[in-house]
Amino acid sequence: MKPRILIVDDNENSLILLSTKMEADGYEAETARNGLEALKKVASSHPDLILLDVMMPVMDGYEACRRLKSTEETRYIPVVMLTARGELEDKVTGLELGAEDYIVKPYSLVEVSARVKSLLRMRALQSKLNETEKMAALGEMVDGIAHEIRNPLTTIGGMARRLFEHETDEEHKRYADVITKAVLRMERMMQRIDEYKGILVSRLSPGGINGVLNDAVAEVKTLTGGKSITIKTDLMPDPPELNMDKTNLKVAILNILQNSVDAIEKEGEITVSTLPAQDNTLIVSIHDTGSGMDEEVLKKVFHPFHTSKMTGAGLGLAITYRIIQDHMGTIEVESERGKGTTFTIKFYIPPGAAAPSLR
C-alpha cells in the first residue's frame, strides 16, 4: 500500500504543487484547506504523514498540531510544519507543539521530498522495532509458561493413557481418550515452542538459496496429505550467494509452504520463485492459490500463537519471521480471501557477491 500524505494549506497553488510532487514520489496525496478540515481528514483517512502549513483561516497549523499531538490515535503521525516565517520563535513553537520537523518557505520540492522520505523511513523502523520487541517479550513469557506446564502435562497424559487401558466403562474410556488427544495437542505446542527457542541463533555463512528452496519443496511434496497440489519452482539459475543458516532458512520456507498446503482445500498450486530486485536485493516469492486470509488474520499472521487451525500452534510464521530477521531480510504478505496468498521475502546481497543476472 502506498504511504498516504495529507497536505494542509490554504493556498491552492501550494496544494497542487505539493500533491503533484508527493504523487510523483509514489505516495498517495490528500489535501485539506485549514486545520479543522485536516483533523476531519485525519480521522477518516489515517495518513502516514502530514505536511502542515502554519498560517491558515478557521484553524491555524499550530492549533491543529497541538490537537493532533494531544490525541492518542493521532499522536504518532509525523507532522512537518511549513512555515513562511523563518523566525526562530516560529520554528521552536512548532517543535514544542510536537511537530517532528519544519520546513521554511519558500521551500524546494527536493527538500520536502527528502524530509518526507526520511521521516517515513524512521516511522517504519520505529513500528518494526515495537513489533519485534512485542514479539520477543511474548515469546519469553510463553517459554516461561511452557516450562511450568511441561511436567504436569506429562503426568496428565500418562494417567489418561493408563485410565484408557484399564477402564472398562465405555463412556469413561471415551473421556480418557478425549483427555489424551487434548494432551497430545498441547505436547505438539510444547514441541513448537522448543523449536522456536532452538532457532534463536542463526549461524550465517555464504551459500546458495536454490538448494534450500529445492530441499524445502521436496520435503513439502511429501506432506500434501493426498491433496492434488502442483508445486512449481521458478528459480534464477545462478543466484548470488547470501549469508545464510541453511537449516534455519529451510525451516522458515517450509513453515510457509506447509501453511500453503493447509490453505488449499482439495486442489491448487504453489509457486516458489526467485527474482533479482532493486537495491541489491534478492526476492523469494511463495504464492499459493489457497483460501487466502481476511484483514484481521493478515494483521496478526506473524504473531506467536495466532492460529485459525484446530491443531495449529500458531508458531510457524513467528518462527519464520524470526529466522528471516536473523538473516537481515524482510518478509511481507499479501492475501485475498478466496484467491490466495503471496509471501515475499527480501534478502540483501552482501557486497562482493556477484550481482544477479536479469532474466
Ligand X SMILES: Nc1ncnc2c1ncn2[C@@H]1O[C@H](COP(=O)(O)OP(=O)(O)OP(=O)(O)O)[C@@H](O)[C@H]1O
Which residues of this protein are in contact with ligand X, per CB under 6 A? 192, 255, 259-260, 263, 288, 290-293, 297, 301, 306-309, 312-318, 341
CB of 38 to ligand X, least distance (A): 37
Binds 313: which of ligand X, Mg ion, none (CB < 5-8 Å by kind):
ligand X
Element (H, E) at 271: strand 267-277
Element (H, E) at 202: none
Neighbouring-strand partners of residue 267: 228
**Closer residue to Mg ion (CB): 83 or 259:** 259
- Of the candidates 319, 241, 247, 243, the one whose C-alpha atom is nearest the C-alpha of residue 274 is 241
CB of 96 to Mg ion, least distance (A): 49
**Closer residue to ligand X (CB): 18 or 199:** 199
CB atoms within 10 A of CB 352: 8
**Closer residue to Mg ion (CB): 188 or 203:** 188
Total number of residues that touch Mg ion (CB under 5 A): 2
Binds 307: which of Mg ion, ligand X, none (CB < 5-8 Å by kind):
ligand X
CB of 282 to Mg ion, least distance (A): 24
CB of 218 to ligand X, least distance (A): 19
**Closer residue to Mg ion (CB): 94 or 290:** 290
**Closer residue to Mg ion (CB): 85 or 299:** 299
**Closer residue to ligand X (CB): 56 or 263:** 263
Binds 236: which of ligand X, Mg ion, none (CB < 5-8 Å by kind):
none
Binds 314: which of Mg ion, ligand X, none (CB < 5-8 Å by kind):
ligand X
- Give me the DSSP letters along 41-82: HHHHH--SEEEEESS-SSS-HHHHHHHHHTSTTTTTS-EEEE
Torsion of CA 160, 158, 138, 302, to 10 degrees: -70
Q: Does 259 bind Mg ion (CB under 5 A)?
A: yes
Element (H, E) at 341: strand 340-348
Q: Does 316 bind Mg ion (CB under 5 A)?
A: yes
CB 34 within 8 A of CB 8: yes
CB of 255 to Mg ion, least distance (A): 6
CB of 264 to ligand X, least distance (A): 8
The β-bridge relationship of strands 28-32 and 4-8 is parallel
Element (H, E) at 27: none
Name the residue with the smallest CB distance to ligand X: 316
The β-bridge relationship of strands 49-53 and 79-83 is parallel
Binds 33: which of ligand X, Mg ion, none (CB < 5-8 Å by kind):
none
CB of 268 to Mg ion, least distance (A): 16
Neighbouring-strand partners of residue 7: 31, 51
Binds 34: which of ligand X, Mg ion, none (CB < 5-8 Å by kind):
none
Q: Does 290 bind Mg ion (CB under 5 A)?
A: no
Within 8 A by CB and 6+ apart from 291, the residues are: 263, 264, 265, 337, 338
**Closer residue to Mg ion (CB): 259 or 289:** 259
Largest CA distance in the chain: 90
Q: Does 260 bind Mg ion (CB under 5 A)?
A: no
Binds 208: which of Mg ion, ligand X, none (CB < 5-8 Å by kind):
none
**Closer residue to ligand X (CB): 166 or 266:** 266
- Give me the DSSP letters along 278-339: TTTEEEEEEEE-S----HHHHHTTTSTT---STT--S-HHHHHHHHHHHTT-EEEEEEETTT
CB of 42 to Mg ion, least distance (A): 37
Q: Applying CB under 5 A, which residues contact Mg ion?
A: 259, 316
